[in-house]
Structure 1
């Protein structure tokens, strides 16, 4: 409780001193601002295993495969490189603007190769990409 300085009155002051409250709240805000970016960068996830699902498609999606050596196949036909893949995908997209693609990647393939292929698929204009896995 605070008292009035230099007063002849013996009355107590009924005002609340909010300075300590503001100080504590500012410290909490600073702690929140410092720790929030650290929490989003340090999230470790274990991906779940899923049950088999069926896609709701009217026509057969395009099939893109990557084997463990990094060889790319499109609808079970081998392709020479990523530029040939992009050309083929642009042609298929011109034939069917709603084309969907299923990506079959071997579990031993390097992730960088999968990322390159996905970037090529997106650059070609195909937005519907699904990863195909086996049920456990």
Structure 2
């Protein structure tokens, strides 16, 4: 018989597809933050955004790396990099945080030249 039976290959690929579909949403949020609700739609992205998270205790994270408040302006300036178009920043802040804490971080983002800021919330269906 000179033919290859592709049915087992298709079965394996479908199982792998299901596994990736189930695990992919679990990999996006690295820092547990209790986000507020919103009815806004998701944004279309050209390049990979910077994710800045503030947890319920006020600790600041860039992607999944904790950044002390004293070092935050330098790290943001390094991320801005002076490109032709400022990078998109997703700001994820816990709903129990003080408004002033979130505004201080937004001020540091603005001073670093990162002024394309999107506030992340939990969408309602």
Q: Tell me the TM-score range normalised by the shorter chain.
A: 0.5 to 0.7
Cα shift readout 1:77-99 (whole Å, capped 9, x = no counterpart):
00111x41111111111164421
Give the equivalent residue in structure 2 for 1:111: 99
Cα shift readout 1:40-75 (whole Å, capped 9, x = no counterpart):
xxxxxxxx9414x23221111100000111000011
Q: Separation in 2 of the partners of 1:103 and 1:89? A: 13
Structure whose alpha-carbon radius of gyration is higher: 1
Give the equivalent residue in structure 2 for 1:56: 44
More off after superposition, 100-109 vs 53-62: 53-62
Greater relative CO (CA pairs within 8 A, separation 6+): 2
Q: Which runs of no fewer than 5 residues in structure 1 stay unpaired?
A: 1-47
- Partner-residue secondary structure (3-state), 1:56: coil
User: Whose strand proportion is higher, 1 or 2?
Assistant: 2
TM-score of the pair, normalised by structure 1: 0.59
| Moved segments of 4+, more than 6 Å | none
How much is the aligned-residue C-alpha RMSD, in angstroms? Answer: 1.8
Q: Which runs of no fewer than 5 residues in structure 2 stay unpaired?
A: 1-36
Give the equivalent residue in structure 2 for 1:73: 61
- Partner-residue secondary structure (3-state), 2:52: strand
